[in-house]
Chain A
Amino acid sequence: MTVHDMKHAGSDSARLEAVGGRLSRVDGPAKITGAAHYAFEQQLEGLTHAVLVGATIAAGKVTGIDTRAAETAPGVLAVLTPDTIMELNSASDWFGRQPSEETYCPLVREVTFSGQHVAAVVAETFEQAVAAAALVKVSYDEMPAIVDLSDGSDGIPVDAMTKEWGDAEAAFAEAPVRVCAAYNTPREFQAAMEPHGLIARWEGDQLTIWEPSQWLDGMARTYAEWFGVPFQNVRLVSPYIGGGFGSKALALAHSAVAAAAAKMLGRPVKLVLNRPQNFTSYGGRAATRQTVAIGADKAGRIQSIVHRGVNETAVDGMWVEPLGSVTSIMYATPNFSSKQNVVRVNTVVPGAKRAPGENPSAFGIECAIDELAHELGIDPLEMRLINYAEQDPHAKKAWSTRQLREAFAAGAEAFGWAKRSREPRSMRDGHQLIGWGVAAGTYPVRRAYGEAVVKLLADGSVEVESSSIDMGQGTYTILAQTAAETLGVPVEKVSVRLGDSHFARAGVTGGSRLAGVMTGAVYKAAGQALDELIGLALSDPRSPFHGLQANTLQVKGGRIASPRGDGPEFSIAELMRALGREKIEAKGDTVPASFTPEQRYNNYTTIAMALPHTEGDYSRHSWCAHFVEVRVDEDFGTVRVSRVVSALDSGRLYNPKLAESQWKGGIIMGIGQALLEEGIVDRRHGRIVNGNLADYMLPTNADIPDIRTISVGIPDPHSSALGGKGVGELGIVGVAPAIANAVFHATGKRVRDLPITLEKLI
């Protein structure tokens, strides 16, 4: 067996390039020069353009579609309706569960939400398709719609969400100090800057889809099932993704329309949702309601937490936003009860938006504990330490690592928390009321299996291939770093190729799992390639190292030599030439050897095989603490976030430069959630009235102060091969409650409905 030293020489560039180094994005040059071609920017011969027609009612029947004017408009190739689009098979869901219906029509006769796709026009040019789509006349038989959570009943209990221990209601009733309040979050949207869309092309029964995707293999499975072709006949290509935030993991109705149109016309079809359609064609974060009741003793020790949650879901689809996920683990309590219902409303099925579940869950519990701290006159940070959970209170297992105490300490120190005056409205700067707030966040470590191919080529360069993707998290970069460090070559020798479902497979990019999964797979594949290279170097008669009686060899800076440094030294290219090899290729995976081919397929194309974060002896989570300063105009009630310090435990960071960017991005999305973002539904028509980027307000540069992030993580061997935990989802969790708590400290007014807008403060 060979042994290889993975450590580089200690030069600056080597430190930068190694795993854990602050290497700049390797895909950066393409992105800053315009050379990066995103999925639906591919240029194809004979490309046609499709535009969708959406329902203008939220509930009812389509009674007629007059397509005559559209069909005769210039350049129009086809007008598709529920009657004319080809029939598709229903596809299994993301757990791999078989559908209840046999067939699927992505254009509807029965409308269940405003904007639902009713028809589509395909034309030679985009402009012609837009113009003709406006000529399609749809008539309806409108029914009353349920427009939001306040219209519904109590909803449907989701028993799988129930978490209980002790006797929570009785313990709450007996507790000497009690707080109980309701916390609401509105419908929110991912609003990635790149809209959803795709190009579909059929060649015989081979389908190629260029589509921004967080999950190539899962989406390829859906297309294959829709069209009844083998999985391997579908190729999904997604070289760069212009933001996803949870929204781009599934093949959706518009995807089916484009692929069906391409098949029907025998020409490639490009369909890109316009910006308003991006608010209705896939789900954002469901609106939520929670009540959190905490009972404590007079020293502030929690005796009981009683939590009830509701989220909206669709009339014809199910989404559960797990509202008890943070409530049940953040603080030690002997008694606990959490239950959740869903309420059906006329909306597109809600979906995943950054930290689904944990984000609204943290808003409830992290505001409630602040209210308890105020009730008792205890500092909110001290309150959290008094109730620090030394183990997972729900799973009753040890934390794999939990650097939350360290996060509180580091964040408080950097923020200057000790100088906070306790009373609300006690800090001001002229007409601005100043408030300081704190809140914690957490996200579970989601683990799965992945595979990667690593190729050592004759010129000494290295290729890494994987069907995983980079939507800005830095996959290209950290996989280059992992391969370079494992092989002992400079990072510029490594090229990483992602975003093609014909590459070695990967599961979903979501739940902050990809970096842990893929660094593990690349580490393994690169190790295998290195073993093979060194084995050949020692054993092949053509090798210059043959007969040296060395036990092993070492590769450093792309050069191979004896670790003692007393023998010859060659570049990898020279050695490959001597060996007469064009390449050495290794496919490495982290899949259990016992897996059948079907289990492997399900591992990559469903989420059913993911490992529970409480599997075995440990409970695995990343953690963070946010410290926020707000300035509230006393007269106008306008809130500005003026300072943020966050300390975060994501375990070992593979590239701190990129991880800090992701954390800050999460924090900024959290500022938007706290102060700006709210999908507003017109109660007459059940329609999102602010479905555009001016009226659905995202944070702009002018809304964001300097943000300081501090890493307090330590390598966590129970969470991933290289010791990292999740990064991308974590940053947003806890931001909104930290801001709400700061606003309370500034003004003495507790706003429990997001976003915190000025009319709620004056």
Chain B
Amino acid sequence: MTSQTIIDPPEDGHFRNGKASNGASPTTLSIHLTINGRDHALDIEPRVTLLDALRERLHLTGTKKGCDQGQCGACTVHVEGERVLACLTLAAQVEGRSITTIEGLADEDGTLHAVQAAFLEQDAFQCGYCTPGQIMSAVACIREGHAGSDEEIREYMAGNLCRCGAYPHIVAAVRQAARELRS
């Protein structure tokens, strides 16, 4: 691979930003990301987005690139529990913050999150490409308290495009998961 390395955090806890590595550009940063509870250290250029860091460097390809312009929502992840577009976030911006991706949503033992299970049951996807973003948005939508009615779900899930047209089933899945998570 090109510049991908996963190393342990340095013992002194300080990351040597600005240090050249791998013979690459002198602007390479050494940064530290906490993703799904695991620590990852990366040597990357400052212009690398969180989305490309996840997909190209860390091989966490569950987070999808649909538009790379903040328009489609396919790259939605959680930063400190809030939904964020990974394509509009530089990796360096979220150093040291807790990032959750679709790969980290189910329990360690593989038990699905209520939203994931509801998506499967309601057939809330077809091609599956927007689905990780939809699910991450849905988890946050419920947590934000915006799943009180179908109308509210539609409005607060409107930032995640689905070209297969699974919207009615997404609403049903979010409604079902919200009810289960409340009880």
Contact = CB atoms under 8 A, between A and B. Distances in A.
A and B pair up: yes
A33 B102 contact: yes
B120 A29 contact: yes
B-side interface mostly: loop
B92 interface: no
The 10 tightest CB contacts between A and B, nearest first, are A34-B62, A472-B126, A242-B129, A668-B165, A31-B128, A665-B165, A472-B127, A34-B102, A702-B158, A41-B61
B106 to A, nearest CB: 6
B168 A24 contact: no
Interface string A222-251: 000000000000000000111111000000
Interface in A69-114: 74-75
Contacts of A32: 102, 112, 116, 119-120, 125, 128, 131-132, 135
Interface of A: 24-25, 27-38, 41, 43, 45-48, 74-75, 124-127, 131, 190-195, 240-245, 272, 274-275, 471-474, 657-658, 660-662, 664-669, 692-694, 698-704, 706-707
Contact of A193 (B24, B116, B129, B171): B129
A193 B126 contact: no
A33 B165 contact: no
A126 B131 contact: no
A124 B60 CA distance: 19
B163 A192 contact: yes
Contact of B161 (A124, A126, A244, A698): A698
Nearest to A31: B128
Interface of B: 1-3, 24-25, 45, 47-48, 52, 55-56, 59-69, 71-72, 74, 101-103, 105-106, 112, 116, 119-121, 123, 125-132, 135, 150, 153-155, 157-171
B98 to A, nearest CB: 17
A127 B1 contact: no
A43 B24 CA distance: 21
B160 A126 contact: no
Given A74-B25, A242-B128, A661-B169, A275 B112 contact: no
16 contacts: A31-B125, A32-B116, A32-B132, A34-B63, A125-B2, A192-B163, A193-B161, A195-B66, A275-B71, A669-B163, A669-B165, A693-B66, A693-B67, A694-B69, A694-B71, A704-B154
A36 B60 CA distance: 11
Contacts of B120: 24-25, 28-29, 32
Given A34-B103, A665-B165, 20 more contacts: A31-B131, A32-B112, A32-B120, A32-B132, A34-B63, A43-B59, A47-B2, A48-B2, A125-B3, A193-B163, A194-B127, A242-B64, A242-B127, A242-B128, A664-B168, A667-B165, A701-B158, A701-B167, A702-B158, A704-B154
B48 A127 contact: yes
Contacts of B105: 33
B40 to A, nearest CB: 15
A666 B128 contact: no
A33 B103 contact: yes
B131 to A, nearest CB: 5
Of A244, A471, A694, A701, the most chain B CB neighbours within 10 A belong to: A701
B111 to A, nearest CB: 11
Contacts of B56: 125-126
A341 B152 CA distance: 47
Contacts of B48: 127
B61 A34 contact: yes
A698 B166 CA distance: 13
Given A34-B101, A75-B24, A24 B165 contact: no
A243 B164 contact: yes
Contacts of B135: 32
A243 B163 contact: yes
Contacts of B159: 700
Contacts of A34: 60-63, 101-103, 132
Nearest to A34: B62
A658 to B, nearest CB: 7
A550 to B, nearest CB: 41
B165 A666 contact: yes
Given A126-B52, A694-B71, A37 B154 contact: no
Contact of A707 (B112, B161, B168): B168
